[in-house]
Chains A and B, each alone.
Chain A
Amino acid sequence: MPKKTAAPNYSQTYIKFINLVQAIRELPTFPSLDGIEQQLLNAFVVIWNQKESVRVVEAMQMFPDISSSTVHRRLVTLRKKGLISLESDEENQRIKYIVPTPLAYKYFAMLGECLNKAIAT
């Protein structure tokens, strides 16, 4: 039986390179969202897409499986993460509308791109 020689494995470096590139690609550029935040944003984008506006009070009652206080907390975190902003109604300052920020549009554009890639492959 021929004796095995410890040949240098040059492909190991290439495999390391591929894995390193993958990790570098994953560097976070968007704030991470939890499931509820994603659910809220997905619901809002459908409404925004129809050129309609979402009021904070409406949003708090929009999700039967999520309590209104949880929705409110997530609206605060989404605002802190820069994905939504609140605008007051011109006639009634007590009414607040949830509006998307440029980062939110970028977020959905990225999701769309991922979906296109998934379909293409």
Chain B
Amino acid sequence: MTNESNSGCSPASLYAITGVALAYWLLYQLNDWLFTNFEVSRSISWVFLPAALRMVAVLLFGWDGVAGLLSGSIVMAFPWHGDASVNSCIVSALSSMCPMLAVTSGAYLMKTKADLHGLRAKQLFVFAFLGALFNSVVQNLYFQMSGTAKSWLTGLVPMFVGDFIGTMIALYCASMLIRLLLHFAAKQPPAPT
């Protein structure tokens, strides 16, 4: 699969980047509100809903999705660090690049088509798994190298579980919403001709 995006400074790209950044920020706030008790640290939670958006954004928009995730992450980093430190920018860049790594490798392994034609639910599970794996491993590798984490297990496991469960919860909510919408749409009387 090749990730074709309307790259450049086209209006569609700007809309995609802004939309993804806004959705990422909103989903982060929702996660913060719903699952405060599941937080391990400020950037690690046992349930992390925005992980689903990372996957969906990259699947749909390719590099524009990555740019949107990066923008959203950097905007969210401001209140934590005040000066948007180099550390938070690196973490933001890693968390936005990992979904691209996961989608590209997943698409290569499963031979997914560029337009996602024939995409199956089980392939979404694989993308979710790879996304959680790459994100948790790469970010924790950085945390170890920069000396911000004390041990592998305390960061890696919750981040992997949080990303995977968060993606599954968000996808199932989306699935139920789609079914509900189709259910109501089916009940609508046909438009008069």
Chain A residues within CB distance 8 Å of chain B: 8-10, 12-13, 15-17, 19-29, 117, 120
A9 surroundings in chain B (CB, below 8 A): 4, 6
Query: A9 to B12, alpha carbons, bound, how many Å?
Result: 10
In whole Å, how far is A107's beta carbon from the nearest beta carbon of chain B? Answer: 15
The reply to whether A27 and B121 form a contact with Cβ atoms under 8 Å apart is yes
Query: A15 to B61, alpha carbons, bound, how many Å?
Result: 11
Known contacts being A13-B6, A13-B61, is A23 close to B119, with CB within 8 Å?
yes
Query: A19 to B116, alpha carbons, bound, how many Å?
Result: 6
Q: Pick the most buried of A20, A24, A28, A120: most chain B CB atoms within 10 A of its CB.
A: A24
* Nearest 7 A/B pairs, CB to CB: A19-B116, A8-B6, A26-B121, A23-B119, A27-B175, A27-B121, A16-B116
Query: A107 to B56, alpha carbons, bound, how many Å?
Result: 29
The reply to whether A24 and B61 form a contact with Cβ atoms under 8 Å apart is no
B151 surroundings in chain A (CB, below 8 A): none
The reply to whether B121 and A23 form a contact with Cβ atoms under 8 Å apart is yes
Closest to B16 in A: A13
Query: A61 to B116, alpha carbons, bound, how many Å?
Result: 47
A16 surroundings in chain B (CB, below 8 A): 59-60, 115-116
The reply to whether B121 and A13 form a contact with Cβ atoms under 8 Å apart is no
Query: Which label, helix, strand, loop or mixed, suits the secondary structure of the A interface?
Result: helix
Query: A117 to B4, alpha carbons, bound, how many Å?
Result: 35
Chain B residues within CB distance 8 Å of chain A: 4, 6, 8, 10, 12, 16, 56, 59-61, 114-121, 123-124, 171-172, 174-175, 178-179, 182, 186
The reply to whether B4 and A12 form a contact with Cβ atoms under 8 Å apart is yes
Closest to A116 in B: B186
Known contacts being A13-B6, A27-B175, is A19 close to B117, with CB within 8 Å?
yes
The reply to whether A24 and B178 form a contact with Cβ atoms under 8 Å apart is yes
In whole Å, how far is B88's beta carbon from the nearest beta carbon of chain A? Answer: 30
The reply to whether B179 and A25 form a contact with Cβ atoms under 8 Å apart is yes
Mind listing 27 A-B residue pairs with CB under 8 Å? Answer: A8-B12, A10-B12, A12-B4, A13-B12, A13-B16, A15-B115, A15-B116, A16-B60, A16-B115, A16-B116, A19-B115, A19-B118, A19-B119, A20-B116, A20-B119, A23-B119, A23-B121, A23-B123, A24-B174, A24-B175, A24-B178, A25-B178, A25-B182, A26-B120, A27-B121, A27-B172, A27-B175
A29 surroundings in chain B (CB, below 8 A): 175
